[in-house]
Amino acid sequence: MSNKELDNLFKNKLEDFEKSPASSLWDRIDEKIEQPKKRSPWVYLSVAASLLLLMSLSYIFLKNDPIINDNQQVIASNNTETTDNSKDVAGVKETITEQSETEPEAVQNSGKEEAVDQNKEEKKAKSTNKQKEVIQLPPASELTASNNTTEDKNEIKKLDNKDEVVELKIDELTTNTTAVAQISEPDATIQETSASEVKNSNSGQTLVFDISQFENSKTTVAAAETDKKESKLLQIFNKAKEIKQGESGLGEIRAAKNNILAFSGKKEGK
């Protein structure tokens, strides 16, 4: 027990015993802290930060530059094509508006003529599809083309309802000059214009598209036309679906775009 008592005596008195050191002690500590410490953490931090900045900046520039260029190229080509096509369409409009005014009278006649007209219109619808196929690259012009086809379908519908056809058609002929143009123009000339458009688009394009795909889209659109009882909204919906699924040639553009991106990605990877 005496050992414990002795230990406790010293422990109690000395454990929290205080003895102030010389006042100069802090200054000596202060000096010593400055040398090893104040620099090292900040130097390492700043080096790490600058490295990180450099890496991130180079990464951003290297990654973004080729993509931006590619996108700009694609957009530029699209723009030129749309202007070309719109010019063509405008030209067709001008030449054919005069003829279109004579057309409603012909429609007015007999049922046979109506049938003929129907056939004619189907053909023309196909030809417009051709036009549309040519225009497929730029999305904006494609939308107008698809509008034309649906309007054609409307006209066909209205031909079935014999009475009101003529007046309605006159309205439509004046408003939708493009649709009228297709109706009044003989097939051959439309083919010619479409051919010229192909040339135009070829000169402006850097991408070449498979014609078989256009054929496919033509048949699908033709099939849609035979389904005349479908509502207009449903037809537009189907058309949109086709475009989305890439059946009308948009998929090819998408694939091409993906290829470009993949290529640029590889480039960067190297």
Partner 1 sequence: MKLKIHQTDEEALIGQCRKFDRQAQKALYEKYSAKMFAVCLRYVKEPTEAEDVAITAFVKIFEKIDQFKGEGSFEGWIRRIMVNESLTYIRKNKSMYLEVDIEMADREPDYGSLNNQLEADDLMKLVQELPTGYRTVFNLYAIEGYSHKEIAEELGISENTSKSQLSRARALLQKQLLETEVILKEKIK
Reduced to 3 states (helix: H, G, I; strand: E, B; else coil), residue 246 is coil
- Give the span between the Cα atoms of 152 and 117, in whole angstroms: 12
Token pair for 172? 């439509």
Interface stretch with partner 1, choices 14-22, 86-94, 138-146, 257-265 (CB under 8 A):
14-22
- For residues 92 and 181, is the Cβ–Cβ distance under 8 A? yes
Nearest CA to 183 among 115, 126, 103, 105?
103
Residue 223, interface with partner 1 (CB under 8 A)? Answer: no
Cα distance between residue 203 and residue 187, in whole Å = 24
CA 210 from chain centre, in angstroms, equals: 20
Between the CA of residue 121 and those of 33, 106, 145, 153, 198, what are the distances in Å? 94, 13, 15, 9, 22
Q: How far is the CB of 1 from partner 1 (least distance, A)?
A: 9
Binding mask 27-66 for partner 1 (x = CB under 8 A): -xxx-xx--xxx--x-------------------------
Dist CA 186 CA 200 (whole Å): 21
Is residue 25 a contact point for partner 1 (CB under 8 A)? yes
For residues 9 and 62, which CB has a smaller minimum distance to partner 1 in the complex?
A: 9
- Choose the binding region for partner 1 from 20-28, 56-64, 103-111, 136-144 (rule: CB under 8 A): 20-28
Q: How far is the CB of 36 from partner 1 (least distance, A)?
A: 7
Q: Indicate the residue among 30 and 98 with the shorter CB distance to partner 1.
A: 30
Taking CB under 8 A as the binding criterion, the range among 12-20, 80-88, 158-166, 175-183 that sits at the site for partner 1 is: 12-20
Interface region with partner 1, contact rule CB under 8 A, candidates 11-19, 124-132, 175-183, 184-192: 11-19
CA distance linking residue 42 with residue 198, whole number of Å: 66
Name the strand (E) or helix (H) holding 86.
helix 39-108
Looking at the Cβ atoms of 34 and 210, the one nearer to partner 1 is 34
Our CB check for partner 1 shows the closer of 39 and 199 to be 39
Size of the site for partner 1 (CB under 8 A): 31
Q: Which residues bind partner 1 (CB under 8 A)?
A: 2-3, 5-22, 25-26, 28-30, 32-33, 36-38, 41
